[in-house]
Amino acid sequence: MHLDFTDKVVLITGGGAGIGQACAVAFAAAGAKVVISDVTEQSAQETVEMITQAGGVASAVIGDVSQSASVDAMVDEAVKLHGRLDIAVNNAGISAPLLPVGETEEADYDRLMGVNLKGVWLCMRRELQQMTAQGGGNIINMASALSQRVVAGASFYVASKFAVAGMTRTAAVEYGEQNIRINAICPGFVETPLLVSSLDEEGIKQMASLHANKRLCSPAEIANAVLWMASDSASACTGNLMNVDGGWNAY
């Protein structure tokens, strides 16, 4: 299936690497004008260069999703560049040390929730303001397989992703009559450079074993799901949590 996003304006947070970068490249290849936000300028620019060298249209904006002024400026810059915001992919996220709840640290909680939950809220708030004013739009949040199940030691991450799922579904109901679709993608473990570099071969095998297909997902596979959910082919979909997890949640 060919998905056409010609002249659509797409904003992607955390677009400098991994899933965000794969989404940016895929949207640009399908004709979109992509605005890549990342907290690291070099990473965002690297994604821009990948896209422009392939003949696509992309620009970078530095954005810290945990700060409201930064988020507002990020969305405003996308609109200033292209006149509107058709699609937003709220992908930026971080992890925290794996520890039992009784051994966790307040600083780790604040940092993770500031990005994974507050960041999604701040982005959605500004994106919804823009999309309501322009008459419609499409928001896709990056949730997780851990929006629907748990892993011991990951309480902060699990809590943040459960909350993202709930916020996604609530906002979808609130804005369903305003031509704004809001959905979430729920990846399993994804073979990003960051994940692979942090694990040995046995650790990767253990993660892969949780999936029914016994392998990690690829960033491109997650991007494929994001593009489909953002397309007119998914026009009846809002308030969905779409599993792209190798069958992990089928157990």
What would the pLDDT profile of 140-155 be if each residue is shown by its tens digit? 999 999 999 999 999 9
Specify the 3-state DSSP secondary structure of 145: helix
For the chain, the C-alpha Rg in angstroms (whole number) is 17
Q: What is the pLDDT of residues 176-187, one digit of tens each?
A: 999 999 999 999
State the DSSP code for 147.
Answer: G
For the chain, report the end-to-end CA distance as a whole number of angstroms: 29
Confidence of residue 95 (pLDDT cuts 50, 70, 90): very high
Angle between helical axes of 18-29 and 219-230 (0-180°, round to 10): 50
Q: What is the mean pLDDT of residues 63-72?
A: 97
Angle formed at CA 57 by CA 9 and CA 12, multiple of 5 degrees: 50
Which domains occur in the chain, in start order? 9-189+218-243 (3.40.50.720)
Is a pLDDT exceeding 90 seen at residue 197? Answer: no
Average pLDDT across the chain, whole number: 96
pLDDT in tens, 29-60: 999 999 999 999 999 999 999 999 999 999 99
Distance separating alpha carbons of residues 52 and 30, to the nearest angstrom:
13
pLDDT of residue 13 exceeding 80, the answer is yes
Which residues does the annotation mark as catalytic?
157
Closest CA to 33 of 71, 73, 66, 61: 61
Structure-token pair, residue 98: 């794996």
